[in-house]
Amino acid sequence: MTNEFVLEAITREFPESVISSSEPYGMLTIEVKKEDLKKIVHYLKDSSLEINFLTDVCGIHYPEFPDKEIGVVYHLHNMMTNFRIRIKVFMSRENIEVDSLVDLYAGANWMERETFDFFGIKFKGHPDLRPILNMEDLGYHPMLKEYRLEDGTRTDKDDAMFGR
């Protein structure tokens, strides 16, 4: 199974869904529309491509791109042919929600919870979406870097000395 073969199969089945594709370090990487993500992953799993293992789910944050500020990256793997694919979806801060893949891959459960915990990305249809590592009353998502750099109550530091 080759990158070209899998990309051709996806674009043939979902001609309007693939936004871009590349092959960094030889791994097929596609960006898809977030509303089509679940259909594409379902196709990859249940078709003859047999992408049967979800390796990882993680969030990414690009504050310099407001229309694509938040993203979710999925790493999928066909264990029999050792074929790997990376799928990315992006969204703005106003609509920070994507479909859950727990019903397709049971292992997505904790990975989606971790991504929600650190980035605030909501997974529609997730059975138990709550913080997994942080305190429930934390009030922010640490990987979005929305918290203050310094403790505002400290008077012994001068931020001008540190370039802030």
Amino acid at 164: R
- Cα angle vertex 107, ends 105, 112, to 5°? 95
Amino acid at 163: G
The domain ranges of the chain are: 3-108
Residues 93-118 pLDDT 10s? 888 999 999 999 999 999 999 999 99
Res 149: pLDDT: 65
Res 132: pLDDT: 85
Res 119: pLDDT: 93
Instruction: Match domain 3-108 to its CATH number in 3.40.50.1400, 2.30.330.10, 3.30.460.80, 3.40.50.1970.
Output: 3.30.460.80
Helix axes 37-46, 3-13, angle to 10 degrees: 120
Profile the chain (164 residues) by mean pLDDT over runs of 10 residues: 94 95 95 95 94 95 91 96 96 93 95 94 93 82 75 68 59
Res 161: pLDDT: 65
Contact 30, 88 (CB under 8 A): yes
